[in-house]
Amino acid sequence: MVPYLVVKKLNKDFESSGESFEVFKDLNFEINSNTSTALIGESGSGKTTLIHLIAGLESPDSGTIKIGDFDIWKYSEQKRANFRLNNISIIFQQYNLIPSLNVLSNINFHSQLIKNYDQNFRDELINLLGLSKLLKKYPEEISGGQQQRVAIARAILTKPKLLLADEPTGNLDEENSTKVTNAFEILQSRYNSTIVIATHSKKLAQNLNLKLIIKNKKINKI
């Protein structure tokens, strides 16, 4: 199998109140295409930071992150943004819905932007994630769990090559978590996407192909 995501010698420090904290030291790992990976670790271990580094939202101090042939931190912000727009979908902990658009427009937005909008798949996702009654509502009018499902639908609808999800079931009950897991399975099986999920949920992690644990600034396979 060809590795799709390759992280080499990744170093990242944070500065807070004048003090420096090392998050990652010489981090190395590979993830194959068309697989699902769970990023596991304690709170504050750096799961979200790693997602941001892979997505090109936050810059590393050193090291390389390659997604396919694209060395994401080698290029300009413009090219990085363009790559992200067309290849990566991110599910954020805080959902990141666009406040001025209603639920339906939020779901459609990203896929319409990159012109791979698929109405049938959209309807399928809406039904699967139980969003059909919320379509005309605005983000501030729905609950946190509902917002999270909208964000998941938006990310999956783009059929991304790489899906990065940060605690996607953190605010969901068991029934809705199962629906989300099913949606991820559809994405991987039908559209050959590579999925990386940062999660605390053992149940979600169990169903994924690979489990990586972040501990003491390093990453290891379980």
Q: How far apart are CA 196 and CA 199, in angstroms?
A: 10
CB of 21 or CB of 182, closer to another protein: 21
**For the chain, what percentages of helix, strand and coil (3-state, to nearest 5) are there?**
35, 30, 35
- Choice from 39, 40, 72, 84 touching another protein (CB under 8 A): 84
- Choice from 93, 116, 178, 209 touching another protein (CB under 8 A): 93
Q: How far apart are CA 117 and CA 131, in angstroms?
A: 18
- Choice from 34, 105, 116, 171 touching another protein (CB under 8 A): 105
According to DSSP, the residues that pair with 30 across neighbouring strands are 6
Output the six-digit token pair for 196: 């990386």
- Choice from 30, 58, 118, 185 touching another protein (CB under 8 A): 58
CB of 81 or CB of 130, closer to another protein: 81
C-beta of 157: minimal distance to another protein in Å? Answer: 12
Output the six-digit token pair for 172: 């969901």
Distances in Å between the Cα of 152 and the Cα atoms of 26, 122, 156 are: 31, 12, 6
Task: Determine, following the binding rule CB under 8 A, whether residue 150 of this chain makes contact with another protein.
Answer: no
Query: E-strand spans in the chain?
Result: 3-16, 19-32, 36-41, 62-67, 70-71, 88-91, 162-166, 194-198, 210-215, 218-221
Q: What angle do CA 144, 147, 151 make, to 5 degrees?
A: 140
Task: Determine, following the binding rule CB under 8 A, whether residue 75 of this chain makes contact with another protein.
Answer: no
C-beta of 9: minimal distance to another protein in Å? Answer: 21
Task: Determine, following the binding rule CB under 8 A, whether residue 41 of this chain makes contact with another protein.
Answer: no
Task: Determine, following the binding rule CB under 8 A, whether residue 32 of this chain makes contact with another protein.
Answer: no
Applying CB under 8 A, which part among 42-50, 122-130, 172-180, 182-190 lies near another protein? 42-50
Under rule CB under 8 A, which residues in 160-219 are in contact with another protein? 166
Q: Residues in the site for another protein, rule: CB under 8 A?
A: 44, 46-49, 52, 55, 57-58, 77-78, 81-86, 88, 90, 92-94, 96-101, 105, 108-110, 112-113, 138, 140-141, 166
